[in-house]
Amino acid sequence: MATDVRRWFRALDWGLLGLTLLLAACGVVLIYSATHAKASSYIQASYVRQLWWLLVGVMAMVAALMVDYRIIARYAYVLYGVGIAALVYVLVFGPAVAGAKRWLILGPVRCQPSEFMKVVLVLVLARYTADVQKGKALSLRQLALPALLVAVPVGLIANEPDLGTATMLGLVAGGLILLAGVERRAILIVAVTLLGAMPFGWTMLKGYQKSRLLTLLDPTGDPLGAGYHVIQSKIAVGSGRFLGKGLMQGTQGRLNFLPAQHTDFIFSVLAEELGFIGAVFLLALFLGFLLKSIEVAFQAKDRLGAMTAAGLTWMLALYITFNVGMTVGLLPVVGIPLPLVSYGGSSLVATMVSVGLLLNIKMRKFPY
């Protein structure tokens, strides 16, 4: 038993674990800084709730780490079914908050099933590619089932409505399938089909969703409406200059000019208060985190582990890129959190589960 424990500790990727906890700690500090001056005591206590969610996330990470990832993947389709059932339940019975049905109420706890669905989808697609592919690229016929597996949760999440998460889910799935390998003919047909469907997709968007996309081209066209978030975020980022105004000294957040400052736009708070230096430091932590995750994918001992690690890394990289990109006006505002840093229990726990799976795969690269 003692020998097994020593092996377990030696095999654990302490670098990845340390970066994860350091990023989560940075998130708690930034959430406190962004909310400490608020009049609402509920908002002020956000950092306390984030600490509790971090504790839950660590326990979930350990659970995902302890069970062999091949056993977890064996039940991937079962987990997928549970996730779909949760999304349907939210749409039918979930409470409407700000015009959207995204929350599952479990007693005193609220969770967002869509956040966990992205992890489950990676598991399902990784298992599918590991089972179906025998050293060959996926054919158009073999893409039919993955397309269905992706379309169902994307459609349900888009109807909540949560177009940002639905779009990210599609991008995560598309990237993972391309990493697995697809025949050129199949790629061409799918690309042409998606391009042809874009005009129809545009007509399906709600007015505010169209405005967000158009705002990317000219945020000053509607400075008090669709462009407000981007303009205020860019002001906050620019006003931090090189060294920042100091922790808890940011005026954009403290005076409520910056919206969603402890959730979607927490990077803007960092840039204003800690400046260019603080922003580079956080991005360096994320870079190290992603490089360690990529290393897991390369060192995995089987295709299932490699595809799972690659899919999770791609998912986290997308979320980081889009969140930071939208805060500086390079990408449209899609309302997604910055992994490990933004306030949000569901996002934090889902990310910690992802890290647990990455550590799981890294630990089991050698058979004991």
Number of CB atoms found within 10 A of residue 254's CB: 20
In 3D, which of 21, 2, 1 has the Cα closest to residue 289?
A: 21
The pLDDT of residue 227 is above 60: yes
- For residue 349 the two structure tokens come to 């726990």
The pLDDT of residue 253 is above 70: no
* Predicted local confidence at residue 356, as pLDDT: 97
For the CA atoms of 306, 316, 112, 200, what is the dihedral angle to 10 degrees? -100
The CA radius of gyration of the chain, in Å to the nearest whole number, is: 21
pLDDT band at 222 (very low <50, low <70, confident <90, very high): low
Whole-number Å distance between alpha carbons of 144 and 121: 15
DSSP state, residue 195: H
Q: Give the pLDDT confidence of 21-60 residue by residue, as tens digits.
A: 999 999 999 999 888 867 677 677 889 999 999 999 999 9
- For residue 211 the two structure tokens come to 């405005």
Q: Give the pLDDT confidence of 157-189 residue by residue, as tens digits.
A: 988 888 889 999 999 999 999 998 898 898 898
In 3D, which of 142, 213, 154 has the Cα closest to residue 183?
A: 142
pLDDT band at 221 (very low <50, low <70, confident <90, very high): low
Burial of 65 (0-12, 13-18, 19+ CB in 10 A): buried
- For residue 16 the two structure tokens come to 């990845």
CA distances for 274 relative to 46, 48, 85, 121, angstroms: 21, 22, 43, 36
Burial of 225 (0-12, 13-18, 19+ CB in 10 A): exposed
pLDDT band at 1 (very low <50, low <70, confident <90, very high): very low
